[in-house]
Amino acid sequence: MRNAALVLGLIAGIGGMVVGFFSYGYVVAVEQFGEIDGLAEQVADVNLIRAMSVIAPMLAVAGGAMAKARALWGGILLLLSAGGMYYAFGFNVFTMFPITFAGLGALLALAAGKPDEPKAHF
């Protein structure tokens, strides 16, 4: 389960980076060139989009990388990443896979016990 959490976290982080690049670029483009009625309008909270474009994918990659050695911490980071992406970008066709992969990776990491120890991490 730890290996699956690692892979899902890395995939979620890479997908989240793609969403983050485009979201950050959209915010900057609308700020630079102005709004176009009916086509490009500025988001309500620019700073939230900018922050989550960087933080959420970083948390997914870090959580996935930590899932093998520290499953509890990795699962918490993956859960925070999924929540941050959902809060900032919503659930749509572009975010459904990064959010669900980070969420499933979090569940797998939190459910994993270390195989060579008789007691799980919680």
Q: Please state the pTM of the whole predicted model.
A: 0.88
pLDDT tier for residue 118 given thresholds of 50, 70 and 90: very low
- The residue ranking higher by pLDDT, 52 or 68, is 52
Radius of gyration of the chain (CA): 16
Please choose, from the candidates 8, 9, 1, 7, the residue with its C-alpha nearest in 3D space to the C-alpha of residue 111: 1
Please give the pLDDT value at position 105: 97
Q: What is the pLDDT of residues 82-102, one digit of tens each?
A: 999 999 999 999 999 999 999
> What is the dihedral angle through the alpha carbons of 85, 89, 93, 97, rounded to the nearest 10 degrees?
-10
Which of 114, 51, 46 lies closest to 80 in space, CA to CA? 51
Tell me the pLDDT tens digit for each residue of 34-59.
898 888 999 999 999 999 999 999 99
pLDDT, residue 120, reads 59
Whole-angstrom Cα distance, residue 77 to residue 61? Answer: 9
